[in-house]
């Protein structure tokens, strides 16, 4: 992975200070990942993004905590000789600020570049590049005019060059009225019991119980990537605690029982994303209690 950097002069005739491209590049750098721990159960979707059969613009969609961002980050950190820009799209201001930064990095000097100007530069670049737009749960944040997003002529577009790749992560699925039809959509589903169990073992270093016990806990956690990661991290801390408390769950069976017995009525009454949110909240509370 490479990124644009250096110092660029702009407006020297007017006495303006040069732009520090290195600092700008840092603001659109992908989030760090644990390079020693592989993603489980995501080989198929990663292959579809790394070697796309069609299209150069892709939508990763799924529930919050399903692992969309982790997949995008894994691809962004792969060792390739290309520029990588990571944009947060949690709201319109943040998204446009990041995209304006990319515009500066590819050579546009305007303080208010247009989407057409940015894509004019991107589509003529000969150096490979990847643009990740993360957490675009509201597609309308990607342009002042929602119709432009649908038409694929807003700030997010289908690259017209084989050198470029766009990955968007969102809870919003491939709705033609919100996204249009220019994106290739990839659902990020819940992990299978076997893959979920492996996530738990990856964190506990093969401690905490048997394969069947790990799979049962993974099923109880709904195969939600974030919940499994938190549960595995929690159990690793509990197992390594030099002064263990007998009341603290430290095995797959004990954590499973804690989830079933404590607030089980609330968890079982919830559906869809509510289940994941409440499971994550419960595991966070257990982790806090461990401190």
CA distance 199 to 190: 12
The pLDDT value given to residue 248: 87
CA distance 195 to 209: 16
Helix or strand holding residue 25 (H, E): helix 21-27
Q: Where are the domains of the chain?
A: 7-187, 193-290
The pLDDT value given to residue 36: 83
The pLDDT value given to residue 190: 96
Q: Could you say which architecture CATH assigns to the domain 7-187?
A: 3-Layer(aba) Sandwich (3.40)
- pLDDT tens track, the chain, 291 positions: 655 555 444 444 444 455 678 888 999 999 999 888 889 999 999 999 999 888 999 999 999 999 999 999 999 999 889 999 999 999 999 999 999 999 999 999 888 899 999 999 999 999 999 999 999 999 999 998 989 999 999 999 999 999 999 999 999 999 999 999 999 999 999 999 999 999 999 999 999 999 999 999 999 999 999 999 999 999 999 999 888 888 889 999 999 999 887 644 434 444 456 556 777 787 877 777 765
Cβ neighbours of residue 61 closer than 8 Å, sequence gap 6 or more: 68, 169, 170, 171, 172, 173, 174, 185, 186, 187, 188
95 neighbors 136 (Cβ within 8 angstroms): yes
- CA 2 → CA 30, 79, 97, 168, 193, distances in Å? 11, 9, 21, 20, 36
The pLDDT value given to residue 12: 44
Cα angle 95-99-131, degrees, rounded to a multiple of 5 = 100
Token couple for 246: 């007998």
């Amino acid at each position: 992975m490479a990124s644009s950097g250096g110092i660029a002069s702009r407006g020297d005739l007017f006495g303006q200070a040069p732009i520090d491209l290195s600092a700008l590049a840092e603001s659109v750098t992908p989030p760090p990942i644990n390079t020693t721990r592989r993603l489980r159960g995501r080989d198929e979707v990663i292959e579809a993004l790394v070697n796309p059969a069609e299209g150069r613009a892709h939508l990763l969609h799924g529930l919050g905590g399903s692992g969309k961002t982790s997949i995008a980050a894994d691809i962004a950190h792969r060792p390739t000789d290309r520029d990588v820009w990571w944009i947060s799209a949690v709201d319109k201001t943040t998204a446009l600020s990041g995209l304006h930064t990319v515009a500066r990095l590819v050579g546009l000097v305007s303080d208010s570049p247009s989407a057409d100007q940015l894509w004019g530069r991107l589509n003529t670049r000969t150096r490979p590049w990847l643009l990740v737009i993360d957490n675009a749960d509201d597609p309308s944040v990607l342009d002042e005019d929602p119709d432009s997003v649908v038409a694929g002529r807003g700030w997010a577009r289908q690259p017209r060059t084989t050198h470029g790749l766009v990955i968007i992560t969102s809870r919003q699925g491939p709705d033609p009225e919100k996204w249009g039809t220019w994106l290739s959509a990839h659902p990020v589903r819940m992990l299978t019991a076997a893959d979920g169990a492996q996530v738990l073992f990856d964190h506990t270093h093969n401690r905490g119980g048997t394969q069947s016990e790990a799979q049962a806990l993974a099923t109880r956690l709904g195969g939600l990537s974030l919940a499994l990661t938190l549960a595995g991290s929690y159990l690793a801390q509990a197992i390594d605690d030099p002064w263990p408390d007998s009341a603290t769950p430290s095995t797959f069976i004990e954590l499973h029982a804690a989830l079933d017995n404590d607030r089980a009525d609330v968890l079982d009454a919830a559906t869809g994303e509510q289940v994941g949110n409440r499971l994550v909240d419960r595991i966070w509370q257990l982790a806090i209690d461990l401190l």
